[in-house]
Structure 1
Amino acid sequence: MATLPYSQYTYVELMSDMKQENWINAHVHMFEFFGGTTPLLIPDNLKTGVIKHPKNGEVILNKAYQEMGDYYDVAIVPTLVRSPKGKPSVEGTVGKVTSSIIARLRKEKFNSVIEANMKIKKCLEEFNAKPFQKRNGSRKEIFENEEKMFLRPLPKEPYEFAVWKQATVQYNYHISIDKMYYSVPYEYIKHKVDVRITRSVIEVYYKKKRICSHRRLYGNPGQYSTNMDHMPLNHKKAGEWNGDRFRKWADKIGPSTYKVIDQLLNHYKAEQQAYNGCRSILKLADSYSSKQLEEACHMALQHLAVPRYKNIKLIIAHNQDIRKTEEEQVIDDSYAIIRGSSYYGGSNNE
């Protein structure tokens, strides 16, 4: 719930939980409802928004909350701890909203948060339009006529809640986010980068400088978003990995391994998208053996059009388990001790 101090014009929204994403989105919806932004936001000291509010010292806001405030050019000044008088307008409105909206809907049943908010919206319109008892007009009238003009204009696009993650740029100059792959300028191969993730955009930062962005991918995992400008002019500049090198490496192991690697390299729009998978497959020869890898590739090709790392890894592990079981079942009698007939009294002994 949010209330403007002069008109007492109020915004109310029901959320499914008190997590950060809903907290931020509630602010975005609030600004859209008011049709502008205020110079200040005076919230409670809830952990979702305020990390630390010492008696003496600087207030530390949650990173996402601070980012949202910066986006709307709003100063966030939390009220003093346990000081409801720091925001009397909203505190005074809580009781009124409780009796006018919550109590009114307490016996109704809703199948979703969206459905409940639709009903709340109608009640809120009536609440804001209801005339004051000790003041001329209503919340809505005073807001429209005297307060709305002082709001700041909204940005062209609403703020999108963002999550920050760290990723390492792979040999194919892509990073992996939620099983999707996004290209990064090849100069950053092996470097760790910070990634800002929203519902629609992936932004990549290196040392606080944005180096690229992509529209976020949805759907089947394993999709690639590749900017051709991120590709190296010479494959050797991209860590000296290229298709020919992978094919030569695979050829030394065996024809089936070569065929798997060649099919994987030809499968993607950009050959570089297959580099990480090829390298992972070929490195299996170090963990197991070249012979086991060749056998696994041969079996994989019989059942799959384009075998991947996880397929071959499962086959090798399965074959190894079978070998261990067979070895345990072999009985070695080369050292058995057999006593002759003389031990029992010779050939005449009955």
Structure 2
Amino acid sequence: DWAQARELDDDTLQARLHPAPVARSARHLEPDWSELHQQLKRPGVTLQLLWEEYQLAHGGRAYKYSAFCEKYAAFARSLKRSMRQVHKAGERLFVDYAGQTVELVDMFSGEVTRAQIFVAVLGASNLTYACATRTQQAEDWVRSIIAALQFIGGVPRLLVPDQPRALMVRPDRYEPTAHRLLAELGEHYGVAILPARPAHPKDKAKVEVGVQVVERWILARLRGRRFINLAELNRA
């Protein structure tokens, strides 16, 4: 009553009359989202069923169904979906072209062209080969792959290129059709062609890293030099 209230100090009175608000999230009990995620993989298990079990166990401290679904969706989006690739020695050779190019300046006309940089990387050892070519046409791809095999001193079981139009007559995620020159190269060396899926850089992550190494360790150091032909550039 007021008589007792007068005997209380001001801070205690304010705390009793105006208690601190309780955060909304503090009233709810968080489910084990990782366990729920695993349960959803079992046949017949749905998010509705899991929410009903969760609500039955926790009553008033359970989230409403809509909030439960939203929070699970946020958890599922946060999961990193990837599969680790295990590379056996000599199994795969990954090939690609770098995004960077190098200027070639004609010593007579002064015309400037851009040399393309081919990169090949072995899956297990990360042994890397790079060379410059005039274009990224099929002939340059095939010559560069042959040069990479000579540099390595052997032939892998699988050759993993991207799916550029120069190499694939019919690019496709599941059954791409290789250019005649690439198919003949595979037959000649006895190597199977296994193109990476379009828009899946992790299929050829090895050569993606190899391209970065070539750009940072080689091209960056050559940025101040001028070259008049491919032979000079490749020697450098």
TM-score, with normalisation over the residues of structure 2? 0.49
Question: Which one has the largest radius of gyration?
Answer: 1
TM-score, with normalisation over the residues of structure 1? 0.33
